[in-house]
Amino acid sequence: MRILYQLLVVLFLMFQGAAGQPYFPNRGDSCEVQNGRCFPGICRRPYYWIGTCHNGYSCCRRYRES
């Protein structure tokens, strides 16, 4: 029975890889990639919220006037 569970885990990991979705997602620093900064709490002017940082802070970007 233990071998069956191990085979199911391997099969699950293979399907995740075939779908192009990593089982252990890479968190990276997506806030900096989006030209944002991490702030505790909510975003205040002149910043607006664009997501959440890896540490739970708000990812904020500065308004740009065109």
Compute CA distances 2 → 5, 11, 60, whole Å. 5, 14, 48
* 19-31 core/surface letters (b: 16 or more CB in 10 A; e: else): eeeeeeeeeeeeb
pLDDT > 90: what percent of the chain? 32
User: Residue 15's pLDDT is what?
Assistant: 73
Q: With a cut of 60, say whether residue 24 has pLDDT above it.
A: no
Paired tokens of 48: 């607006």
Residue 22 binned pLDDT confidence (cut-offs 50, 70, 90): low
Strand partners, 22: none
